[in-house]
Structure 1
Amino acid sequence: MLRGISGPAGEKKPAGLPLPEDDKTPLVRAGFLIPEAEHAIIQATLQRLAMAGITSSKTEVVRMALKALEKQSDKQLKALSDGLEPVRKGRPATV
């Protein structure tokens, strides 16, 4: 079964990721800060997916990226990590 949203006339638009069959996969809420330029990459990826007829979410784009990272060697992961812009850790101060 594929996840999707209703389109015109109740038509289903398939998403790229299948739902788990037992629907009991534990989920974890994860909040994080990301530089604007990298957030723009997520948005551009969502647009590319939409142009291909695939309905997706930011969470699914991040999950796709994790699947791709999982296949990288340690050397490739280190190179990617070394190329990241450092970001401030923690929550922004509330005013």
Structure 2
Amino acid sequence: MDRLMKLLSPLIGQKAVVDGIRCQVIEILDTEPEPRLVVGEVAGHHVIQPDQHGEPHRRVERTFTLPLLNDDQSDIHPVIQTLAGDERVAELRRVLKG
């Protein structure tokens, strides 16, 4: 897990356009069994963020939490591939195969 986190942490701040949406990596979550990436929409549609009581609080850009692997667990999530680039994706695949 530490090796995956080291490979993913430089992605924080990385920007890309995915399906016409400009996005940026905000955070890497150290979750089991694999890390997850929090990606925020840059200059996109705002949504209302509730406070801890569920009341409307403020407008924020949308965020998405992405698993490291795609839906069938066969490869790196396609959005993460776009953000990471070919070289880093190849290294992630090597680490995942162990």
TM-score normalised by the chain length of structure 2: 0.25
Structure whose CA Rg is larger:
1
Give the number of the structure with larger relative contact order, counting CA–CA contacts within 8 Å between residues 6 or more apart.
1
Which structure shows the bigger proportion of residues in strand conformation?
A: 2
Larger helix percent:
1
Q: TM-score with structure 1 length normalisation?
A: 0.25
